[in-house]
Amino acid sequence: MKVAIVLGTRPEIIKMAPIVRVLERDGLDYFILHTGQHYSYNMDRVFFEQLGLPEATFNLDVGSGSHGEQTGRMLIKIERVLRSEAHDVVLVVGDTNTVLAGALAAVKLGFKVGHVEAGLRSYDREMPEEVNRVLVDHCSDSLFAPTEKAERILLSEGIPEEKIFVTGNTIVDSVYQNLEIAGRKVNIYEELGVEKCGYFLATVHRQENVDNERRFRGILKGLEMIREEFDLPVIYPIHPRAERQLKIFNIEVNGIEIVKPLDYLSFLQLESSAKLVLTDSGGVQEEACILGVPCVTLRYNTERPETLDVGANVLAGTDPHEIVKKTRIMANKRSCWENPFGDGKAGERIVQILWEKYG
């Protein structure tokens, strides 16, 4: 069996890492194709190094652009690689343009597709990610659902039961594995001058939030009000897109500690000891839930409803007063919920299923 792993963003590297580690450990044949959706491969090389992963075999460096332009460039380049390199199955994870392009290129060439993290739905078609994940689910041959709820969604959409496998989410594997690595390699608390559980952590990067001036101003005002009410630092590792929009909208930020983007191990360590996380990221919602850190989601919907069900997360939207209200509710929440995303062995299950189907 030979597996083609297509990825292009840092969250995809993180979620594919446990699968790569199992393939490496078991001496199985695979290659990594990096599209360069968010950054060039050279920019992402530090992620591979920190996580102890082998280098990507193919680097496409497609860069940014409109959704259609970016997806089109990736389709052309991915197709060339898949035509030239023997493999049995193409593996993608999540809901980005890389995932859509990788799955479409494979399907058009008649290759099998495995979708890791299948069955997630926000039911908000204004989100580009929602369109991507629906399309990829419906053209995949093996759908690795992280939870039984995701499995039920897939079945309700008419996807045959024999294509669906409930494996848990590889983000659990990754959090467990990489937090241990972080403990050896980094000390972000000393670098930022904060104490464990003595700060809030914020991430805001989604297009529907930072490209909308009213929403972005509302979120930032909410973070400022939280800093004032709780008298604790609010640390915001800013995404390049959000930093650009601050300048475009001429927004002045007060009371929030904006820091440069953090490497993954430093961010994971910071996240693990935050008093509370405020985020519009789906992956961060999952990580906070796994780590036992209360979360306030700066959106009006989520494709991770399991975090709401167990009480680890609440939706606040972008109104500043609602953000503060939900933060008050969650700030002293006891982290006694059960992790709904699995036992940290999803990577092993996925590789075993691939071996049984294609080996």
Residues acting as catalytic residues: 205
The CA dihedral of 128, 154, 301, 131, to the nearest 10 degrees, is: 10
- Size (the chain), residues: 359
Nearest alpha carbon to residue 286 among 310, 262, 270, 264 = 310
CA gap 306, 182 in Å, rounded: 27
For residue 13, give Cα distances in angstroms to 6, 216, 230, 297, 321: 10, 28, 35, 23, 36
The answer to whether 109 and 83 are in contact (CB under 8 A) is yes
Contacts of 189 (CB under 8 A, 6+ apart): 195, 196, 269, 270, 273
Token pair listed for 157: 């959409």
CA gap 100, 74 in Å, rounded: 9
Number of Cβ within a 10 Å radius of residue 148: 12
The answer to whether 226 and 201 are in contact (CB under 8 A) is no
